[in-house]
Homo-oligomer: A and B are copies of this chain.
Amino acid sequence: MEEKLAQLKAILAEVADLDYAASILHWDLQCLMPPGGAEGRSYQLATLAGLSHIKFTSDEVGKLLQELGPYAAQLDPDSDTARLIKVTARRYEKRTKVPPAMVGEFAQLTGAAHDIWVQARKANDFSKFQPYLEKIMDWRRRYADLFKPYDHVYDPLLDDFEPGLKSADVKAIFGALRTRQVALIKAIAARPQVDDSFLHLHFDEKKQWDFGVEVITKFGYDWTRGRQDKAPHPFTTNFGVNDVRITTRVVPNYLGSALFGTMHEAGHALYELGIAPELDRSPLEGGTSLAVHESQSRMWENLVGRSYEFWQHFYPRAQEMFPSQLGNVSLDTFYKGINCVKPSLIRVEADEATYNLHIMLRLELEMAVMEGSLAIKDLPEAWNAHMKDYLGLTPPNDADGVLQDVHWSSGLVGYFATYALGNLISAQLWERILADIPNLPDQIRGGEFGALLGWLREKIHRHGSKFEPQELVQQVTGSKINPDPYMRYLETKYGQIYGL
Q: Which residues of B contact A33 (CB under 8 A)?
A: 243
Q: Using a CB-CB cutoff of 8 Å, which residues 31-50 of chain A contact chain B?
A: 32-37, 39-41, 43-44, 46-48, 50
> Which of A18-26, A199-207, A300-308, A366-374 participates in binding chain B?
A18-26
Interface centre among A14, A40, A222, A227, by most chain B C-beta atoms within 10 angstroms, is A40
For this complex, 7 residue pairs linking A to B, each with C-beta atoms less than 8 Å apart, are: A13-B43, A21-B22, A21-B25, A21-B44, A24-B25, A36-B226, A40-B239
Whether B44 contacts A17 by the Cβ 8 Å rule is yes
Number of copies: 2
**CB-CB < 8 A to A35: which residues of B?**
224-225
A285 to B208, CA, bound (A): 43
CA distance A241 to B43 in the complex (A): 13
Chain A binding site: helix, strand, loop or mixed by DSSP? helix
Cross-chain contact B37 with A243 (CB below 8 angstroms) = yes
> Contact: A36 with B243, CB < 8 Å?
yes
With an 8 A cutoff between CB atoms, is A51 at the interface? yes
| A336 touches B (CB below 8 Å) | no
Q: How far is the CA of A223 from the CA of B37 in the complex (A)?
A: 11
Partner of A28, one of B17, B24, B47, B224: B24
Size of A's binding interface in residues, CB under 8 A: 40
Which residue among A33, A47, A48, A50 has the maximum number of chain B CB atoms within 10 Å of its CB? A47
The reply to whether A224 and B18 contact each other, CB–CB distance below 8 Å, is no
Question: Complex: how many Å from CA A25 to CA B28?
Answer: 10
B residues less than 8 Å from A222 (CB atoms): 36
- Give complex CA distance A48, B13 in Å: 12
Is A461 close to B, CB under 8 A? no
Contact B280 A14 (CB under 8 A): no
| A34 and B240 contacting across the interface, CB-CB below 8 Å | no
Contact check, A47 vs B242: say whether CB atoms are below 8 A apart. no
A245 partner residues in chain B, CB cutoff 8 A: 34
Q: List chain B residues, Cβ under 8 A from A39.
A: 240, 242
- Using a CB-CB cutoff of 8 Å, which residues 253-283 of chain A contact chain B? 280-281
Residue of B nearest to A18 (CB): B47
- Chain B's nearest CB lies how many Å from the CB of A22? 8
Docked complex Cα distance between A479 and B448 (Å): 73
- Name the B residues within 8 Å of A41 (CB-CB): 239, 243
Note all chain B residues with C-beta closer than 8 A to A47: 13-14, 17-18, 21
